[in-house]
């Protein structure tokens, strides 16, 4: 009888890990943010997407929040001109810390 009672624990634990744990990490770690376009756009040129995950692997939140970026989607007036001048993403995406904005890298940020 005791062995029969013990059996369901393993599948229940597995189910807990599958259903509950991913939900918790999704809440703790912000995901991709599609950045709002403030500057005049080139037709339907794809907006830039900011992937949190690759940055969070290397930086703590205060590396960007709130000195570089306010923590609210669409609240930062980012433009290519500012990035090329070393502001916002350009603080790191300058060819030294991370890949720069060149014609071979446009689509790494501007993804359809």
Which residues of the chain form contacts with ligand HEC (CB under 6 A)? 30, 33, 35, 37, 39, 41-42, 45, 47-48, 50-52, 54-56, 58-59, 61, 63-65, 68-69, 71-76, 78-81, 83, 88-89, 91-93, 97-99, 101-103, 105-106, 108-110
User: Contact 59/18 with Cβ under 8 angstroms?
Assistant: no
Q: How far is the CB of 17 from ligand HEC (least distance, A)?
A: 22
Angstrom distance (rounded) from CA 100 to CA 111: 16
**Minimal distance, residue 27 CB to ligand HEC, in Å:** 10
- 8 or 39: whose CB is closer to ligand HEC? 39
CB of 23 or CB of 51, closer to ligand HEC: 51
Three-state DSSP class for 63? helix
- Tell me, what DSSP letter sits at residue 47? P
Q: Are strands 49-51 and 32-34 parallel, antiparallel or unpaired?
A: antiparallel
Tell me whether residue 16 or residue 32 sits nearer to ligand HEC (CB atom). Answer: 32
Q: Which residues contact 97 (CB under 8 A, 6 or more apart)?
A: 91
DSSP 8-state secondary structure symbol assigned to residue 85: T
**Closer Cβ to ligand HEC, 12 or 71, answer by number:** 71
């Amino acid at each position: 009888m005791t062995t029969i009672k013990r059996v369901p624990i393993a599948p229940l634990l597995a189910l807990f890990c599958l259903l509950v744990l991913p939900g918790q990490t999704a809440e703790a770690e912000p995901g991709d943010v599609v950045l709002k376009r403030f500057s005049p756009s080139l037709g339907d040129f794809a907006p830039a997407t900011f992937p949190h995950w690759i940055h969070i692997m290397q930086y703590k939140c205060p590396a960007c929040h709130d000195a570089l970026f306010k923590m609210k989607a669409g609240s930062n007036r980012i433009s290519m001109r500012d990035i090329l001048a070393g502001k916002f993403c350009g603080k790191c995406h300058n060819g030294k810390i991370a890949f720069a904005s060149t014609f071979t890298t446009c689509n790494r940020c501007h993804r359809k």
